[in-house]
């Protein structure tokens, strides 16, 4: 159940909600399947089937947001609209104008929507009231925004705050590469990306390849900055850090997998054990990462 990607926020220090109180606040926005006229519907669902909206283990909280979206490609809408436009042109003797085409596409969209297929996806959210983290398992900003938007509607005051660090990730990663030295408790792995600023955006990427230090310094001297860097924390978790302070491709290393596999627990107990292990390890990783970036900017 490990999170694969981390969108990281600070949990407000004013947070006082218990798991039960939080579930009560989420309940009015619980997920219900959309009707034929809804292109998308969002809502909270239990993390475990049949369980509560908030899954709590050792003070850590886990939520899940479900998004249901109708699959109606714009190419299909445009194709039908063009056919309708040809019929309309034959009737009125001239091509439909821009406004008429817009109205025609909207009409076609509304007609086809009830017949469109639906897909659902769930986005996990971890709330750490102990260390004050709010983390969303999402690679794309749009998915994180869905979570933050519904949280804002469900909880007042809004519990998430941006995380600010003293040194930008790009500057820090560039310094680590130029100095050929990782920060304390981290090692630098093989995947690296450097990009130039300005209009050129010239970039060089190393994939599963350890670049020579002189090559890296030459790229940095030419004005490139590190935008993505693969790293491992404490020989326990590997990940990729981005210039936007996103943590991607999170993967527990063998030592953690062995500890989890040795438990021999029932399914529900295994889930709780995995959640406790994941949240405990990620909380320590995030603390060390913030320190590696010069500490938190207040």
Average pLDDT over residues 247-254: 94
pLDDT of residue 180: 92
Average pLDDT over residues 237-259: 90
pLDDT of residue 138: 97
Enter the pTM of the model: 0.85
The C-alpha atoms of residue 143 and residue 123 are separated, in whole angstroms, by: 8
Pairing of strands 224-233, 55-57: unpaired
* Tens-place pLDDT, residues 88-133: 778 888 888 888 888 888 887 777 767 766 778 999 999 999 999 9
φ/ψ of 165, rounded to 5, equals: -120, 160
Using pLDDT thresholds of 50, 70 and 90, give the confidence band for residue 39.
Answer: low
For residue 200, pLDDT beyond 90: no
For residue 59, pLDDT beyond 60: yes
Using pLDDT thresholds of 50, 70 and 90, give the confidence band for residue 282.
Answer: very high
pLDDT of residue 262: 52
On the question of a cis peptide bond just before residue 157, with omega within 30 degrees of 0, the verdict is: yes
For residue 170, pLDDT beyond 90: yes
Where in the chain is CATH 3.30.310? 7-70+118-160
Q: In terms of CATH architecture, what is 7-70+118-160? A: 2-Layer Sandwich (3.30)
Average pLDDT over residues 128-155: 96
Average pLDDT over residues 63-83: 82
Q: 104 versus 148: which is more confidently predicted?
A: 148
Mean pLDDT of the chain: 90
**Closest to 248 measured CA to CA, from 1, 45, 2:** 2
pLDDT of residue 145: 96
């Amino acid at each position: 159940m490990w999170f694969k990607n981390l969108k990281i926020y600070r949990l407000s220090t004013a947070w006082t909600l218990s798991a039960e109180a939080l579930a009560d606040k989420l309940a009015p926005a619980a997920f219900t399947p959309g009707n034929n006229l809804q292109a998308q519907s969002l809502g909270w669902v239990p993390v475990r089937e049949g369980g509560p909206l908030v899954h709590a283990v050792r003070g850590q909280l886990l939520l899940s947001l479900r998004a249901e979206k109708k699959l109606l490609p714009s190419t299909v809408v445009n194709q039908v609209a063009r056919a309708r436009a040809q019929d309309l042109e034959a009737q009125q003797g001239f091509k439909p104008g821009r406004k008429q085409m817009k109205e025609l596409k909207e009409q076609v969209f509304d007609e086809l929507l009830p017949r469109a297929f639906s897909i659902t996806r769930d986005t996990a959210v971890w709330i750490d009231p102990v260390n004050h983290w709010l983390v969303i398992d999402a690679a794309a900003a749009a998915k994180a925004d869905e979570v933050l938007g519904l949280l804002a509607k469900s909880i007042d005051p809004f519990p998430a705050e941006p995380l600010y660090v003293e040194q930008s990730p790009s500057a820090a990663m560039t310094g680590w590469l130029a100095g050929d030295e990782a920060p304390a408790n981290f090692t630098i792995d093989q995947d690296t990306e450097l990009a130039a600023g300005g209009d050129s955006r010239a970039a060089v990427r190393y994939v599963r390849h350890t670049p020579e230090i002189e090559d890296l310094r030459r790229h940095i001297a030419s004005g490139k900055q590190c935008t993505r860097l693969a790293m491992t924390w404490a020989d326990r978790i590997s990940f990729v850090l981005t210039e936007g302070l996103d943590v991607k491709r999170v993967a527990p290393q063998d030592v953690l997998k062995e500890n989890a596999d040795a438990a021999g627990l029932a399914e529900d107990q295994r889930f709780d054990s995995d959640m406790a292990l994941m949240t405990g390890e990620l909380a320590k990783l995030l603390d060390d990462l913030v320190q590696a970036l010069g500490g938190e900017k207040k």
